[in-house]
A and B are shown apart, each in its own frame.
Chain A
Amino acid sequence: MRGKHSLFYHILIFIIAQLVWLLLLGIWIYWYVSNYIVFEKVGDQVSPQLIYDVQNALPFILGLILLIGLSFTTSLIFRHLNVQLRITELYDNFIGNVTHELKSPLASIQLYLETLKQREVPPEKRKEFIDFMMKDADRLQSLINSILEISAQEQKKLLQNYQVYNTYSLVKELIEESCEKFRVAKDSYQIKGEALCEIVASKDALKIVFDNLVDNAVKYSTQQAKIITSVICNSKKVTILFTDLGIGIVANEQKKIFNKFYRIYNKEIPNVKGTGLGLYRVREIVKAHGGKITVLSEGESKGTTFKIEIPAYKALSQRRLKKLLKNE
């Protein structure tokens, strides 16, 4: 609500500023033209040999250029201001989400530590508690990583270890790991594909991609998540289709979901936890692999398909290969 108000306020200021300088421009033109006419009349009588054609038009034209420049710059500044405002709004959201995400595992760790300190906990329970604490510590770590690794440099570090992989086995391994991590039952996911294609990829980075996709599929499904992944190859590129039968994404949100801090809201599943960084990172990682990611969804409650396209190993130029594999 406050955001809308401040936006209205900025637009109002912008319009007033525009009116003010248009008025000034009018005055300036009026002043120039009337001076010119006076000078022309008086000049003729006082000194008829004076020439004032080209030279006198110059300040007028220069003035106009300057004013146009000014108007252009104002619009530019206004546009940037708007973008900035939107980012600030998203950032506020992000801070709220991150605070929540950081505090939950912390609360749990604190609870277990205090429990262990204050009570005689039987050994088997003690082990269970320690497992929970470790899981929470992992969660904190991956959250902190995803916040810090937004910076391009960190992303680069992650993307150093490129190797040649068979796409099907790599995708299978990563999906299985992610599904286990996010508790997707074995019969709830399938991996279809062709075995004979290879890609150059950073396994650690792609792990983040599939972790995010599986996590989202789980979070945005009203029932137990169902995931179908297929790998399709041709001579130029490898296409990985990741389909879930979740709540789907309406058309006008499909482009925005890859934006930093952007999060969708669906009344079927309110309060989905997250930071709004997941898919942004996914897109950055896929881009770094020379590929692209798009999303297809027929709309709400129709499920979602993410299409990842990465150039096939054989289609990569020698130069690009050298660049990718240089750290081996």
Chain B
Amino acid sequence: MTEDFTGSRILLVEDEESLAVGLEYNLIEEGYIVNWANNGREAIDLFEKEKFDLIILDIMLPYVNGFEVAERVRKSDPQIPILMLTAKTESGDKVKGLEKGADDYMTKPFHLQELLLRVKGMLKRKSWYTSTSQKQPVYKFGKNEINFKTLNCLHGNEKIRLTPQEAMLLKYLVEHKEEIVTRKELLENVWHLNPEVETRTVDIFIARLRKYFEPDPTSPVYFKSIRGAGYTFEVK
């Protein structure tokens, strides 16, 4: 099934007028509906007033910077995809951006095609996630209870809040229960093959899930590694 994302609403937060106008034109040509905010304050206002499917966010913004915008957005909407777009190249900024809740990160100057593909990939991911999590928002295994809609989880009595990326990975594993999933498959379907994401990333995320949900993360019973192949999610 080829999905159609035309009509998706994008909030474009960029203070450089020339870049914003160019991006707006291209996104509209792709069939998206675009709202442009030229500073952080306006971005938060717009986000609170209207509903969006994706945010393209610059970091160096007047009044409120992109990191803070991402943080504010994440508080009220844990699922909306955020693509950070910035001229900063230090890897510290990238890590900070991802920590504050961005799902992806592109540095200026960028290629138009790549940006459009990433936007589409993120929308695809979101729509897959929403459609599957609506069918069955709460999932239980062992002592764990996961709500894929609110991203709130319980591990025994302990409360955990997943990041959207963690939730998507978990969702994918749950859907492919008892199957062996390779790292490449996870990168393609959960990360939509982001060239900047290495296979190490998958391992880091699996380690995080183990920490949250395994009775003993050092000898996992749910998230098992299959040597030379990948991972498998098993519930007995």
Contacts and interface: CB of A to CB of B under 8 A. Distances in A.
A107, A112, A125, A128 — most chain B CB neighbours (10 Å): A107
A246 to B, nearest CB: 13
20 contacts: A96-B88, A103-B107, A104-B16, A104-B87, A104-B108, A107-B87, A108-B22, A110-B109, A110-B110, A111-B22, A112-B22, A115-B26, A118-B112, A118-B113, A119-B29, A125-B25, A269-B63, A270-B64, A270-B65, A272-B62
Interface stretch (A33-41, A129-137, A314-322): A129-137
Interface of B: 16-19, 21-23, 25-26, 29, 60-65, 87-90, 107-113
B23 A111 contact: yes
Contact of A108 (B18, B65, B90): B18
A273 interface: yes
A271 interface: yes
Contact of B60 (A110, A115, A128, A273): A273
A100 B112 contact: no
B60 A111 contact: no
B18 A105 contact: yes
B89 A99 contact: yes
A107 B109 CA distance: 4
Contacts of A96: 88, 90
A106 interface: yes
A114 interface: yes
B108 A271 contact: no
A128 B20 CA distance: 13
Main secondary structure of the interface of A (DSSP, over half): helix
Contacts of B89: 99
Interface string A154-170: 00000000000000000
Contacts of B110: 107, 110-111
Interface of A: 96, 99-100, 103-108, 110-112, 114-115, 118-119, 125, 128-129, 132-133, 135-136, 269-273
A281 B23 CA distance: 34
A269 B165 CA distance: 32
A271 B112 contact: no
A273 B17 CA distance: 14
A115 B107 CA distance: 18
A108 B85 CA distance: 12
Given A107-B110, A118-B112, A100 B87 contact: yes
A107 B108 contact: yes
Given A108-B18, A115-B112, A269 B23 contact: no
Nearest to A117: B112
Given A103-B87, A111-B23, A132-B18, 16 more contacts: A99-B88, A99-B89, A104-B108, A105-B16, A107-B108, A108-B16, A108-B19, A111-B109, A112-B18, A112-B22, A115-B26, A125-B25, A128-B21, A132-B21, A270-B63, A271-B65
